Amino acid sequence: MTARLADIAAQAGVSEATVSRVLNGKPGVAAATRESVLAALDVLGYERPVKLRRRSEGLVGLITPELENPIFPAFAQVIAQGLTRQGYTPVLATQTPGGSTEDELTEMLVDRGVAGIIFVSGLHADTTADTARYERLHGQGVPFVLINGFSSGVRAPFVSPDDRAAMRLAVTHLVSLGHERIGLALGPERFVPVQRKIEGFTRSMREQFAADPRELIEHSLFTLEGGQAATTTLLDRGCTAVVCASDMMALGAIRAARQRGMSVPGDVSVIGFDDSPLIAFTDPPLTTIRQPVTAMGQAAVRALLEEIGGTPAPHSEFVFLPELVVRGSTASHTRRTAYAFRGTDSAQDPTAG
């Protein structure tokens, strides 16, 4: 092995330590240097390690957390179409409960020599996850782009909707309809999109009512059942409107209201998030914040192809503005009640004057 390292180092004009780093997929080696080492391997007739073999120019991996939430198939369709138009073949890899993890799916795609990977709502969105996994991808020379969930510690292009602006749109709409007790139902707080929605919601509520809305924020799961559970709690706290972090949660919110004999939107207004396919045909048709899936998916494809082509896109976040789509699940609230928050700012009723 020592003789082999020495031969490769001499051929590439680098140190044996650098050769070792390249062969083991370690970060910290310039792209040109890495290519010199790999070229030396080829010239000397050595077989490249599996993870360092030439990338397939035709395959691009797409990793999603699941397909039950219709927003993920929507992203997959846009991205797949964009890749296909550019002559690439998308390879969809989906996590399933008890099945393959994101890391295992990534390893599988790398072993198959994909030219790059697009991650949708992956571990990069989890503030408690170790971002070293993405640095290892850099070390293996695999370009990648991340959708939904920015991390300053990851060197890659990010594509996200403006979650803060989305909450401002939702709150402003509900306030215009006369709602004061507005609840927010969302997923676990460790996720970046959740944190951003909380920031936007809190800021908008304070601007409207000069009060602390923390008691009107409820965490659960990004599922129909999660939305139902969170909304049940928010209804107990007197909310007349609920903003949900996904359309699936919003459907759960409607179920929670109906189980109490309440009508939507007569007694409770509900707003979703995503504008998933077919959501306009629910009963009632769902008012929601439209995530710009087409623009985001196309931007992710462009950024990845630039990375693959050797002209990397800026390693920053491309943020897309969402859109409020008003349908039948929101309506005027005429029975206006005192706006009472528990907390430091709860003593004042901002409607009094």
**Residue-wise pLDDT tens digits, 221-269:** 999 999 999 999 999 999 999 999 999 999 999 999 999 999 999 999 9
Q: Does residue 152 sit in the same domain as residue 171?
A: no
pLDDT of residue 30: 83
Predicted confidence (pLDDT) per residue in 285-306, tens digit: 999 999 999 999 999 999 999 9
Mean pLDDT of all residues belonging to the chain: 88
In this prediction, residues 74-98 reach a mean pLDDT of: 90
Predicted confidence (pLDDT) per residue in 5-43, tens digit: 888 888 889 998 898 888 887 777 887 888 888 888 878
Q: Does residue 73 sit in the same domain as residue 40?
A: no
Q: Indicate the burial class of 287 (C-beta count within 10 angstroms; 0-12, 13-18, 19 or more).
A: buried
Residue 281's CATH number = 3.40.50.2300
Is residue 147 in some structural domain?
Answer: yes
Q: Does residue 157 sit in the same domain as residue 297?
A: yes
Is residue 267 in some structural domain?
Answer: yes
Nearest 5°: phi and psi at 91?
-115, 105
Residues 6 or more apart whose CB falls under 8 angstroms from that of 226 comprise 185, 187, 220, 249, 252
Q: Does residue 170 sit in the same domain as residue 285?
A: yes
* Cα distances (Å, whole numbers) of residue 207 to 199, 202, 216, 273: 12, 9, 15, 22
Give the sign of the dihedral formed by CA 266, CA 268, CA 273, CA 274: negative
Q: Does residue 276 sit in the same domain as residue 185?
A: yes
Q: Is the pLDDT of residue 1 over 50?
A: no
In this prediction, residues 179-191 reach a mean pLDDT of: 96
Is residue 346 in some structural domain?
Answer: no
Q: Does residue 178 sit in the same domain as residue 241?
A: yes
Q: Where are the beta strands (DSSP E) in 1-116?
A: 59-64, 89-94
pLDDT of residue 55: 54
Could you tell me the pTM of the whole model? 0.78
Domain count for the chain: 3
Is residue 95 in some structural domain?
Answer: yes
pLDDT of residue 319: 96
Show the CA angle centred on residue 60, arms to residues 54 and 65, nearest 5°: 130
Domain carrying residue 197 = 163-292
Residue 36's CATH number = 1.10.260.40
Q: Is the pLDDT of residue 343 over 80?
A: no
Q: Is the pLDDT of residue 352 over 50?
A: no
Q: Does residue 176 sit in the same domain as residue 148?
A: no
Q: How confident is the model at residue 348 (pLDDT cuts 50, 70, 90)?
A: very low
The owner of tokens 């504008």 is 275
Q: Does residue 144 sit in the same domain as residue 75?
A: yes
Is residue 254 in some structural domain?
Answer: yes
Q: Does residue 203 sit in the same domain as residue 256?
A: yes
pLDDT of residue 44: 83
In this prediction, residues 323-347 reach a mean pLDDT of: 65
Q: Is the pLDDT of residue 151 over 80?
A: yes
Q: How far apart are CA 116 and CA 309, in angstroms?
A: 11
At position 140, the amino acid (one-letter code) is Q
Q: How confident is the model at residue 51 (pLDDT cuts 50, 70, 90)?
A: low
pLDDT of residue 300: 96
Q: Does residue 39 sit in the same domain as residue 96?
A: no
Q: Does residue 180 sit in the same domain as residue 288?
A: yes
Q: How far apart are CA 243 and CA 183, in angstroms?
A: 6
Percent of the chain with pLDDT over 90: 63
* HSE-up (13 A, CA, CB side) for residue 277: 14
Of 291, 292, 227, the C-alpha closest to 264 is 227
Q: Does residue 233 sit in the same domain as residue 300?
A: no
Q: Is the pLDDT of residue 353 over 60?
A: no
Is residue 336 in some structural domain?
Answer: no
Is residue 30 in some structural domain?
Answer: yes
- For residue 288, how far is the Cα from the chain centroid? 17
Of 334, 180, 328, 172, the C-alpha closest to 264 is 328
The owner of tokens 């920031």 is 199
Is residue 342 in some structural domain?
Answer: no
pLDDT of residue 337: 41
